[in-house]
Amino acid sequence: MAFTSPEEKFGIRLQSKPGPRTIDQGYSVLLGLVVIVLGILGFVLTGFTNFTEMTDHMIFGVFQTNGFHNLTYIVFGLLWLMGAFALTPAGNQGMNIAVGGALLLVAVLGYMGYWSLLSIPAGVNGDNILHLAVGLASLIVGGGLLSAGDRQPAAA
């Protein structure tokens, strides 16, 4: 009976030595840092009051936000950074697919008006477009469409 370690089965392990990052890991670092900065800027703008209420606070005049939305940005940013630095390349790809799918769901539900908790108004707006674009990009990157050239051909 063959046993596989959790590291081999799920692809979750700390990188033993730093090496070249894949396109997926670079994407995760970039998005993680950008989203964390957006969350911090949002907290500077909104403070910690009206945490889950619909507000008129806007980041860059485009993205409506409240405290809960800012906290969500920081959590997603930390997930992306964890994926880049703590997961194997395959695990990071899976994480990008999961986050991309979640963001697509957030975009659809935001368009329909179900995210007043995050201060996202219904309809076409900056938040819903951002979530749609980043969700699609995360699925493309996580799906390996950009990293097809990184793989070595199989030996015959």
- Residue 152 covered by a domain: no
Domain span at 76: 21-145
Q: What is the pLDDT of residue 105?
A: 93
DSSP state of 63: E
- Residue 101 covered by a domain: yes
- Residue 132 covered by a domain: yes
CA angle 55, 80, 124 (to 5 degrees): 40
Q: What is the pLDDT of residue 153?
A: 45
CA distance 17 to 83: 15
- Residue 155 covered by a domain: no
Q: What is the pLDDT of residue 18?
A: 59
pLDDT in tens, 110-133: 899 888 777 788 888 888 999 999
pTM of the model: 0.76
Please name every residue paired with 12 in a beta bridge, in sequence order, or none if there are none: 87
CA distance 92 to 34: 18
- Residue 154 covered by a domain: no
- Residue 156 covered by a domain: no
Domain total for the chain? 1
pLDDT in tens, 46-105: 888 878 887 888 888 888 888 888 999 999 999 899 888 888 888 889 899 999 999 999
Q: What is the pLDDT of residue 29?
A: 93
